[in-house]
Amino acid sequence: EAQVTQNPRYLITVTGKKLTVTCSQNMNHEYMSWYRQDPGLGLRQIYYSMNVEVTDKGDVPEGYKVSRKEKRNFPLILESPSPNQTSLYFCASRRTASYEQYFGPGTRLTVT
Amino acid sequence: GEDVEQSLFLSVREGDSSVINCTYTDSSSTYLYWYKQEPGAGLQLLTYIFSNMDMKQDQRLTVLLNKKDKHLSLRIADTQTGDSAIYFCAEYGGANNLFFGTGTRLTVIP
Tens digit of pLDDT for each residue in B28-70? 768 899 999 998 788 899 999 998 889 999 999 999 999 999 9
Of A50 and A41, more confident = A50
Give the three-class secondary structure for B106. Answer: strand
A73-to-A54, A90, B7, B63 alpha-carbon distances in Å: 13, 14, 36, 34
Of B48, B97, B102, the CB nearest to A45: B97
Other C-beta atoms closer than 10 Å to the C-beta of A95 total 14
Q: So what's the pLDDT on residue A39?
A: 84
Q: So what's the pLDDT on residue A99?
A: 79
Closest chain B residue to the Cα of A46, Cα to Cα: B97
Alpha carbons B75 and B70: distance in angstroms, whole number: 17
Of A31, A41, A101, the CB nearest to B102: A41
Q: In the structure, what pLDDT confidence band is assigned to residue B95 with cuts at 50, 70 and 90?
A: low
**Cβ contacts (< 8 Å) between A42 and chain B: which residues?**
4, 88, 100-103
Q: A22 to chain B nearest CA, in Å? A: 15
CA dihedral B41, A50, A11, A63 (to 10 degrees): -130
**Cβ contacts (< 8 Å) between B90 and chain A: which residues?**
43
Q: Is a pLDDT exceeding 80 seen at residue B2?
A: no
Of B91 and B76, more confident = B76
Q: What is the pLDDT of residues A59-95, one digit of tens each?
A: 999 999 999 999 999 999 999 999 999 999 999 999 8
Q: So what's the pLDDT on residue A96?
A: 83
Interface subset of B 11-70, CB within 8 angstroms of A = 30-31, 33, 35, 41-45, 48
Alpha carbons A105 and B44: distance in angstroms, whole number: 9
Q: Taken in order A24, A29, A34, A39, is the CA torsion positive or negative?
A: negative
Give the three-class secondary structure for B50. Answer: strand
Q: So what's the pLDDT on residue A109?
A: 97
Residues of chain B above pLDDT 70, percent: 95
Backbone φ and ψ of A83, nearest 5°:
-55, -30
Q: So what's the pLDDT on residue B1?
A: 44
Site from A4, A45, A66 to mutate, B interface, most B CB atoms within 10 angstroms: A45
The DSSP H or E segment spanning B65 is strand B61-66
CA dihedral A69, A72, A78, A82 (to 10 degrees): 160
